[in-house]
Structure formats: C-alpha cells, structure tokens
Amino acid sequence: MNVKVEVIGVSPPCQRCKTTEENAKKAAEKLAAEGIKVEISKLNVASQETISKYGVISSPAIAINGIVKIMGKVPDASVIERLIRQSITS
C-alpha cells in the first residue's frame, strides 16, 4: 500500500506548518509499522505549481493522494492517520 501525503505550507515554514509536518511524520511512522507506506512531500502554498494543481488554499493544508483534505489548520497526528486509512479503504 502506498499513500502520497503532501504538506502544503509557506516557505520558509512558519511554526504551524512545521507542526503539521511533524504530525504527518508521526502518523506515517505509526502506519509504517502496519506495512502501510506513506510518502510525505512538502509543497509551497504560494508557488505557481501548487496553485495550478489545487487553486488558492490557505496554509497549512494537507492533501492525500492529490486531494486537499484539510486547510487552514493544524491537524493532530491521529486525524492525519485516520485520513490516510480512509484513503486506503475507499
């Protein structure tokens, strides 16, 4: 199982974006133990690349397998974990 998680934040990262990324990493570690591979990448919210992919969003945001699930707030690791699980079952 391979899940792509994108953490979309400002660059240089602000505190909230950093916490979001850390929480995503925590969720990934937990899922790795169950054999679920999570690939985390960072996107700059103000880059043309991000805008053409997702439009205007407020940071920090999290996209899973190319769909923005959370924007404008810092999700807990458990929330990210649940979202990743959902993306596998659906």
Partner 1 sequence: MNLLEKKRALKTISMLAFITFFIAMMIRAIVGAYTLTPTSTAEDLQGLPIWEIPLVYMWDYAQHGWICLGFAFVVSGLFAEFIPKPFMLKYMSSRKPIAYVIAMLIAPLFCVCSCTMVPLFSGLIYAGGGIGPALTFLLAAPANNLLADIVTIQVLGWQIALADIIAAGVSAVIIGFIVSKTPWGKRFEQKFQKNQAQTTAIELIEEPLDMRLWSALKFGGYLAKRIIPAFALGLVVVSYVQAFFPAELVKAYLTRSTGVIYSAMLAGPLYTPTLIEVALGKALVNLGMAPAATIAWLMGQPYDIPNMLSTSRIVGWKIVITYGLLAFLAAIFSGLLYGVLTGGF
Give me the residues that bind partner 1 (CB under 8 A), please: 10, 14-17, 45-48, 51-59, 63, 66-74, 79, 83
* Residue whose CB is less far from partner 1, 33 or 56: 56
**Burial class for 65, CB neighbours closer than 10 Å (0-12, 13-18, 19+):** middle
Q: Which residues pair with 63 in a beta bridge?
A: 6, 68
* Residue whose CB is less far from partner 1, 15 or 33: 15
CB 43 within 8 A of CB 10: no
CB of 22 to partner 1, least distance (A): 15
CB of 16 to partner 1, least distance (A): 7
